[in-house]
Amino acid sequence: MRYVSLRTACMAACLAAATLAASAAAGSPSSPPAEAPASAAAGTADATAPAIRPVDDAWRASLPLDAQAATRAYLDRLSPEAKARSDAYFEGGYWLLLWNMLLGVAIAALLLFTRPSTAVRDWARRVAPWRWLADAIYGGAYVAAATLLSFPLTVYQGFVREHAYGMATQGFGAWLGEQLIGLAVAVVMTAFGVAVLYAVLRRAGERWWMWATGVAVGLMAVGVLVGPVWIDPLFNTYRPVEDGPVKRAVLAMAHANGVPTDQVMEFDASRQTTRVSANVSGIGSTASIRLNDNLLRRSSEAEIRAVMAHEIGHYAMGHVPQTLLQFGVLLFAGFGASAWVMHRLLRRYGERWRLPGGAAAVADVGSLPLLVGALTVFMFLATPVTNTIVRTMESHADLWALNLAREPHGEAEVLLKLAEYRKTEPGPWEEFIFFDHPSAASRIGMAMRWREQQLP
């Protein structure tokens, strides 16, 4: 239930595609707000009382059939301290959304109003033999500058905060090394994206924002294809899972559901985090089933089957192409709104920002900070929409998993582990606005309803 992998992959690509250098501010590709911390490793605060009260099969068998009562019994196994901690961790994330948006906009404004940004643009044009190369240089420099300027916030949310909540396993040096790798990746991806985008924008004219949407969706698709193959191995080592009951069980479900691969890969996420995660990545011949070592080590076979059935569900239901389409529609609105704002601001400040007059300004890479700023605000406002797009698919994958693995208890056990860092029982509006996956209360409720209806 790297239930997040889909979103991370998409958002990373989406942001890169939209040349949102702000994404660099939100952390390296290796440090998404990933999945579950294992129960055993939820920090030192509760070394005596377990965060999740352990139970045995007899407890599960004796649960009432009534879905509501069974859900309550599961949720009550979370200790009050663990619940308070996960609430605090998750609610802190609401504010981080705001701070990241404001910082992204502030950096964009700083680069527009000060000299260095256009100085880099002009220098790149002098030294680069081709315009696309000059644009690429500017794009790379923009990401580097934005990363540097947002570094304090990155350290807080990617390192300090993760350690404070007992989810990170890396020392600062190792973490910083990965940030640098992430920066190198972001520079290369953004340079490529910016070169393509502005090559199109120079020819696009009035309707440039429609063309920009097409470019962004194309770049997102490229990101989804190359991410698992070229980028993920920069952060983790992947090796085949040993033959055995777990691998056989996973492959049996995969083959029955049209995932065309015989490979189940394991990766060493424990070097970064205590969280449990897995994903099914790629399409066709590049399809690959991947689960992390935390999941393998800390979960029962029933739990692993429940997790992998969920991931297989994402693949079988075509959630990656669906996400591309739905985010494409959203970006269409985003670029449209950005164009409206940009044209007005350019009329007023274009000269001060040392940009050409009229329509040529949006095709000048020097206006990139303005585009980034506008899209950053739009994506912030669209948070409930993006979360609902993803959350809806996650619910479908949960249902798929229940029908495929038929492990409502395995599913509920893993969800309880996820609940250690994701608020368990939010209000309905809170869940609508902030949750990219349904809350534990919703998901365990679904598993227990399934159990209520399926058992004789």
Those residues with Cβ within 8 angstroms of residue 217's Cβ, 6 or more apart along the chain or in another chain: 17, 324, 327, 328, 331
Q: Pick the stretch among 54-62, 164-172, 390-398, 406-414 that binds Zn ion (CB under 5 A).
A: 390-398
Q: Which is nearer to Zn ion, 167 or 397 (CB)?
A: 397
State the number of binding residues for Zn ion (CB under 5 A). Answer: 3
Q: Does 231 bind Zn ion (CB under 5 A)?
A: no
CB of 397 to Zn ion, least distance (A): 5
Q: Pick the stretch among 2-10, 89-97, 165-173, 410-418 that binds Zn ion (CB under 5 A).
A: 2-10
Q: Which is nearer to Zn ion, 216 or 397 (CB)?
A: 397
Q: Which is nearer to Zn ion, 382 or 414 (CB)?
A: 414
Select the residue interacting with Zn ion from 78, 397, 401, 446 (CB under 5 A).
Answer: 397
CB of 393 to Zn ion, least distance (A): 7
3-class state of residue 2 by DSSP: coil
Paired with 36 in beta bridges are 276
- Calpha distance 255→281 (Å, rounded): 15
Q: Which is nearer to Zn ion, 12 or 73 (CB)?
A: 12
**CB burial class (10 A; 0-12, 13-18, 19+) of residue 133?**
middle
CB of 14 to Zn ion, least distance (A): 17
- Calpha distance 341→105 (Å, rounded): 14
Q: Which is nearer to Zn ion, 212 or 312 (CB)?
A: 312
Q: Which is nearer to Zn ion, 201 or 389 (CB)?
A: 389
Please choose, from the candidates 77, 55, 193, 207, the residue with its C-alpha nearest in 3D space to the C-alpha of residue 135. Answer: 193
Please choose, from the candidates 320, 318, 314, the residue with its C-alpha nearest in 3D space to the C-alpha of residue 396. Answer: 314
For the chain, how are helix, strand and coil distributed in percent, rounded to 5?
70, 5, 25
Those residues with Cβ within 8 angstroms of residue 407's Cβ, 6 or more apart along the chain or in another chain: 302, 303, 305, 306, 309
CB of 313 to Zn ion, least distance (A): 8
Q: Does 327 bind Zn ion (CB under 5 A)?
A: no
**What is the layout of strands, in order, in the sheet containing 238-240?**
238-240, 264-267, 288-292, 278-281
Q: Does 3 bind Zn ion (CB under 5 A)?
A: yes
Q: Does 447 bind Zn ion (CB under 5 A)?
A: no
CB of 291 to Zn ion, least distance (A): 13
CB of 422 to Zn ion, least distance (A): 13
The residue number whose beta carbon is nearest to Zn ion equals 3
313: alpha, beta or left? (left if phi > 0; alpha if psi -120 to 50): alpha
CB of 292 to Zn ion, least distance (A): 14
Q: Which is nearer to Zn ion, 237 or 403 (CB)?
A: 403
Instruction: Report whether 370 contacts 118 (CB < 8 A).
Output: no
CB of 418 to Zn ion, least distance (A): 11
Q: Pick the stretch among 183-191, 326-334, 373-381, 394-402 that binds Zn ion (CB under 5 A).
A: 394-402
Instruction: Report whether 342 contacts 311 (CB < 8 A).
Output: no
- Calpha distance 34→366 (Å, rounded): 34
Q: Which is nearer to Zn ion, 187 or 278 (CB)?
A: 278
Q: Which is nearer to Zn ion, 303 or 394 (CB)?
A: 394
Q: Pick the stretch among 3-11, 119-127, 195-203, 421-429 that binds Zn ion (CB under 5 A).
A: 3-11
φ/ψ of 114, rounded to 5, equals -110, 165
Where do contacts with Zn ion occur on this chain (CB under 5 A)?
3, 394, 397
